[in-house]
A and B are shown apart, each in its own frame.
Chain A
Amino acid sequence: MAPEIKSKKKWSDIFFEKLTLIFACSIILIVAWIIIEMFQDSIDAREAFGWKFIFSNEWDPVKEKFGALPFIFGTVVSSILALLISLPISIGVAVFLNEIVNRAFRTPLSFLIEILAAIPSIIYGFWGIFVLAPFMRGTVQPLLQSTLGFLPFFKGTPYGTGLLTAAIILAIMITPIITAITRDVLKAIPTAQREAAYALGATKWEAIKMALLNARSGILGASVLGLGRAIGETMAVTMVIGNRAEISSSLFEPAYTMASVIANEFAEASGNLHVSALIEVGLILFAVTFIINSFARLLIYSFTRKTEGK
């Protein structure tokens, strides 16, 4: 950002510039190193199972049979469910903060939402075990069962812990990030557009709707980023999802995610193949979050550049 100021460069200047360059490169190096390391450490599992690893649902450390499908299933279902719960709320909060509430309330409220993002995941998990899971077991799940019980998603025993509970915790955890980016995106929409809408006789809500429609690619980016967070979330999910490597159509049943199987089994993994299989699960998790995050960032970058350029 600093414009180039032409002057004789001293050796100390060159040294300092190169020094910062080295540190900047080290970030790229770290990411590359993570990829290489995980690729190497999962060789055993990849050689033993090949692509079958992704499509097999047998996970039996004793027989050394490893398939990641139940974890992929649990991760995908819990994250998408979390996004579905969180997205309308996040957009609502972003609109509320940006367009409705006055300044005096905006600052403390956005601070409180930021704190939600900063609470350690372990505390969400702990709270999930002792407060949310009993509440789900006692109130929410019986209610869902009596009203929507004919659907396969709400069949089975309401244990309290399971996919649905995990999704709710995840939704709470990703709401701040989606809200924050949606707010940025809404801010980037020029006020002139809103004024024009009002001038044409639009109501407040119609003007907001127009802003939201114009911001849709940015909001998509925000939700994809939230999805990425949900996919990688570990401790909170591990504590409430029930940790059972099975695929079931019921959202009440215990499940397992990629991140939580690593958290649970890695330190106690017996045998090289088990460790290698867990690292391969990690590699899949990494690849998915990498692609999702890159996609989301590019969407958000291009959105802000487009609107700033107008």
Chain B
Amino acid sequence: MLFLCVVAAIISILPLFYIFFYTTKSGISSLNWDFFTQMPKPVGESGGGMANGIVGTLILVSLGSFIGIPVGVMAGIYVTEYSGGLFSNLVKFVTDVLSGVPSIIIGIFAYGVIVIPMQGFSTLAGSFALGVLMVPTITRITEEMLKLVPQSLREASLALGVSRWKTTLQIVLRTASGGIITGILLAIARAAGETAPLLFTAFGNRFWSTDLNQPIASLPVQIFNYAISPFDDWHKQAWAGALVLITLVFIVNLIVRIVTRDKFANKV
């Protein structure tokens, strides 16, 4: 039986290596300077890049962070620092439930709340969806990291006459900031790879767009459209995009691991 556990461990890791290997093999040849700086070429012309998708993802994720980070961090502070009762348990529970809501549902939500009233797919709707998706991850991580700050530190600060909110912000939050920032990075990496909620909010765009009321390209949606297209050139481009995403995810996760060690492993 113990032998079977070893087999299970090997089986579970195999797909990871295979995906890494295959993505690298298929994507590396198209991954060059053009990929990051050029616009997509029309069908039939080879070359070109996904510059609009990369910039689009950056814009979407940064705008999303304006929702995800404040809501996530502040709610995390409330749960650990100000309430230990039934209400904070309710907040924790709802946060967990929200983290389990399929991302495509968040897309429908953003569609109903922003796309319909504004009568069109837009950057704003896409960022809103990504922002909401980031909230539960950030809240949980903030909570876990704040819990690790020793109680004596809070007491020491309060004993020196520092007010409660300053203690929370300048002592507690600062002590935990390393972990929280890496947690935010994790949420950002996850949001950057999201496709489903962007299909009918940000929608995608073949051209440059920085207008918040217009559809905008994003790397994952571009990968999706290219992947299901029948053109070999586009497949190659999509693999290059996939390689960029997978590298991003790997690096961010590695940083998180190194900075936080085992502190909150498995808690996300």
Contacts and interface: CB of A to CB of B under 8 A. Distances in A.
Interface residues of B, number: 98
Interface string A217-252: 000000001001101111100010000000000000
Given A26-B71, A107-B262, A123 B246 contact: yes
Nearest to A32: B94
A109 to B, nearest CB: 7
Interface string B45-74: 000000000000000000000000011001
A111 to B, nearest CB: 6
Interface residues on A, range: 35 or more
A23 B5 contact: no
Interface string B80-124: 111110001011011111101111111111011100000001000
B199 A266 contact: yes
Contacts of B93: 294, 297
B180 interface: no
B1 interface: yes
B133 to A, nearest CB: 11
A263 B111 CA distance: 13
Given A27-B135, A115-B249, A204-B2, A37 B112 contact: yes
Interface centre among A41, A120, A176 (most CB of B within 10 A): A120
Q: Is the interface of B mostly helix, strand, loop or mixed?
A: helix
Given A1-B84, A23-B78, A96-B9, A119 B2 contact: no
A1 B89 CA distance: 11
A254 B195 CA distance: 22
B189 interface: yes
Given A31-B94, A228-B100, A115 B80 contact: no
Interface in A49-105: 88-93, 95-97, 100-101
Given A20-B78, A126-B223, A285 B102 contact: yes
B7 to A, nearest CB: 7
Given A34-B105, A234-B196, A297-B97, A20 B158 contact: no
20 contacts: A20-B81, A23-B75, A24-B91, A27-B71, A28-B91, A37-B113, A92-B7, A113-B16, A118-B253, A119-B193, A120-B245, A184-B266, A205-B2, A234-B104, A234-B195, A263-B199, A282-B108, A289-B105, A290-B100, A290-B101
